[in-house]
Chains A and B, each alone.
Chain A
Amino acid sequence: DTGVSQDPRHKITKRGQNVTFRCDPISEHNRLYWYRQTLGQGPEFLTYFQNEAQLEKSRLLSDRFSAERPKGSFSTLEIQRTEQGDSAMYLCASSFPGVGYGYTFGSGTRLTVV
């Protein structure tokens, strides 16, 4: 297993456009998380799944953001009508459930909205 994969690595888009990111977790992990990170800040939680069920969404996640994990394997994060404030690194992570299991992060998708 090659770890958590994210695609694309970089995305530049014009304000108002829609973007979609993909995350392939470690296959044995049934939990998948999306975080967002901006310069000088720690990762901020957005949402997470256990298998295909979306268990929690942050209040930070406006209705322009939607995430899916249709078959409990890969996940997509879509941002509609992008704004400049959406520019950030979007990080995906996966883990086993339960106390004591740390997360393995992917390399992230860096989004720049111009």
Chain B
Amino acid sequence: RKEVEQDPGPFNVPEGATVAFNCTYSNSASQSFFWYRQDCRKEPKLLMSVYSSGNEDGRFTAQLNRASQYISLLIRDSKLSDSATYLCAVNKRANTPLVFGKGTRLSVIA
């Protein structure tokens, strides 16, 4: 099993739709979880951390399910500008470098 796995997509959704991505991780000792956004030919940018209790930032909600070892990202009221690749990043255990998934591509269509 790969350390971090994501559905590559693409997810093609209309403006205003709600879309959710999952990311599974293999190591039960993982402690740090993040979602990054990457635009074409640009560097990844931190979107949000993922906390055990779940967290929200505007239209974005991140959740962690330790029992099933996955994190999720929910985007409500999708905008055209949300079109990008969304990368999840997880560490193997405390104080180790982040391992990134391959990313999920989202296209929001007018």
Contacts and interface: CB of A to CB of B under 8 A. Distances in A.
B interface, by DSSP: helix, strand, loop or mixed? loop
Given A102-B46, A102-B49, A105-B44, A45 B31 contact: no
A43 B97 CA distance: 12
B1 interface: no
Given A42-B87, A91-B43, A97 B100 contact: no
The CB with the most chain B CB atoms within 10 A, among A35, A43, A101, is that of A43
A107 B43 contact: yes
Interface in A36-52: 40-45, 48
Interface in B73-94: 87, 89, 94
B42 A107 contact: yes
B100 A42 contact: yes
